[in-house]
Amino acid sequence: MHHQPVLKNEVLEYLKPTPGENFIDCTFGFGGHSFPLLEKIKPEGKILGIETDGEVIKVLKKDKLDEKLILVQGNFSDLKKIAQKNNFSPVNGILFDLGFSSWQIEKSGRGFSFQKNEPLDMRLDNRALKTAEQIVNSWPKDNLAKIFREYGEERYAFRIADLIYRSRKETRIETTGQLIEIIRRAVPFAQQRRKIHFATKTFQALRIAVNDELGNLAKAFPQALELLETGGRLAIISFHSLEDRLVKNFFKEEKIKNNLKILTKKPVGPSLEEIRENPRSRSAKMRSAVKI
């Protein structure tokens, strides 16, 4: 619909869907991976799609959905509870695609993009209480610097945090435009001329903090392993080094315990052709494993 799925062929190759199998898509989005999976597992196989964003679910429910697709608004940190509540078993494969759909960036109006002036919201789940605006206006300077450094790997974390702290004393920071202007003043001019937008890392850090993205992943992975049948497959697509490190370490630990066999010695990336068609896919990395 609105989403060009990243590494679609690679996902199918590693998850190896066959008729009658059941899959969980922990990050359903607009179903870019799930619909091709569904074709392969028909007529008996089912998919449980979990999506955090209520607005995305509203858009999806305007169309008649396949009866073999169970779509739930929730967070994958509650994976086991959601699967049990929907009597969803056995589970033959689980997919996590940790990227954002272009719809969220371009159409949601929640401040995910620095190309537009929007409210500083950044919540994936609009029922959540914490917003980017709250964090920027109320967190102590040191806490801001810490998330910019740890979640954004931002070199100028302290300078940005310091300028936010000073600016908010004069006026509340409510929009992405105001925040970008502050970041622009905080980072050296040379930094502003680089290929990657100078606000990218700060925005990433805020988004991770608002949605507790890394905490939720750490909760979800063990549940995914528990739900999988023996021989069940796991595929995880990440888009930045923090996520990829979590995946890599989880796989390594479970391999040592003899719970997982790793299928990807190195993470699988997109082909040049895919990067040409969808430039956003360039940072995607997929790791896959099978439950022993």
Query: What is the tens place of the pLDDT at every residue in 190-199?
Result: 888 888 899 9
pLDDT beyond 60 at 1: no
pTM for this predicted structure:
0.92
Q: What is the rounded distance in angstroms from the CA atom of residue 129 to the CA atom of residue 110?
A: 14
Q: What are the structure tokens assigned to 273, written together?
A: 């052709």
Q: What is the rounded distance in angstroms from the CA atom of residue 121 to the CA atom of residue 111?
A: 6
Q: What is the rounded distance in angstroms from the CA atom of residue 266 to the CA atom of residue 243?
A: 15
141 CB-side CA count, 13 A: 12
Average pLDDT for the chain: 94
Helix boundaries (H) for the chain: 8-15, 34-41, 54-60, 79-85, 102-107, 132-138, 141-150, 157-170, 176-186, 189-192, 200-211, 213-227, 241-256, 272-277
What tens digit of pLDDT does each residue of 30-71 get? Answer: 999 999 999 999 999 999 999 998 888 888 888 878 889 999
Question: 109, 119 in Cβ contact below 8 A?
Answer: yes
Domains of the chain: 8-103+213-291 (3.40.50.150), 108-211 (1.10.150.170)
Task: State the DSSP code for 77.
Answer: G
Which whole number is the average pLDDT over 148-161?
A: 97
pLDDT value of position 3: 64
